[in-house]
Structures are given as structure tokens and as C-alpha cells.
Amino acid sequence: MPRVIRIFGSTAGPPIRDDRFIPLIELIRAWNALGQPFLVPGRYTPTIEKASEIKRLLYLSARYYCSCGDRHCNRKHSNIDGCPNGGQRIGCRADVVKDAKGRPRTQFRFFDKRESIRSVVERYGADPSKWPYQARAKKARA
Ligand SMILES: [Zn+2]
């Protein structure tokens, strides 16, 4: 049986880390603008493909971000257990939209992950199997 290796672009294993937008996350935190929608300047999204790529990178940066400053905090401590140093974890919502002139744009917002989990619990109860979206449900049940 051949060994499975991770090839760029394959779906095996976690996605390859990308920190490119972590400075942007820090900026938006410093502005106290978590939860607010932003548009990526149009010159960075001349095509749908570029806009989608930026969307993907925004998600990746949020996935690997913890405000405690430990680059590997997310790998060592899940969002369920949280950061041992009280660091903030960030979620991302991004969409490719079209502006008034029909040009592709990437619209996104970063938000506090703990707050969003709390609001899901308030709305749907503590049982993750009843949540409409349950990325971490398997871990929570284990
Ligand atoms: Zn941390």
C-alpha cells in the first residue's frame, strides 16, 4: 500500500497554512471592527478567480490565527478548549460579490469565534448535533 503524501491542492490533510492576511486581522481587531463587513480593493480582484483566491486566503489566515502570538496555538489547542493564554480566535465569512459596475469583489468580515459559538449555543442549544453547522461537533462529542 503506497503512502499517501500531501500534495498542494489535494484535499487530504488540513489545508496548507497561509498567514498572508494575519496583519489584516490584527488591523481590524485594532479598529474594533470585528463583525463589520469590508470589501477588498477592486484592483486585487480583477477576475472571479482572483477574488475567490483572496476569499480562500482570508479563511486560511483566520483559521490559523490566535491573538496570543503563538503561531501554532490553533494546532495545539482547539477552539473548543480555547487558547490557554486567553487569546482571541477569529472566524471569517467571505463571499465573492459584484460591484455596481459588475466587477468581482471579495467581501468579508472577521468575527470573534467564541462569541459566534456562544450565539449558536443560545440559538440552538448546547448539543452540537442540533447545530446547523458543526465543523467541530465530532471533536466536542469525543
Ligand atoms: Zn493562543
| pLDDT tens sequence across 95-135 | 999 999 999 999 999 999 888 878 888 888 888 788 876 65
Residues within 5 Å of ion ligand 1 by Cβ?
66, 68, 73, 83, 87
Distance 83 CA to ligand 1 centre (A): 4
* pTM, to two decimals: 0.76
Give me the pLDDT at residue 8, please. 52
CA distance linking residue 24 with residue 109, whole number of Å: 11
Which sequence spans correspond to the domains of the chain? 22-112
Distance 70 CA to ligand 1 centre (A): 6
**DSSP character for 8?**
T
**CB-based burial of residue 54 (10 Å sphere; 0-12 exposed, 13-18 middle, 19+ buried)?**
buried
Distance 119 CA to ligand 1 centre (A): 21
Distance 104 CA to ligand 1 centre (A): 35
The b-or-e profile of 30-43 (16+ CB within 10 A means b, else e) is: eeeebeeebebeee
Confidence of residue 72 (pLDDT cuts 50, 70, 90): very high
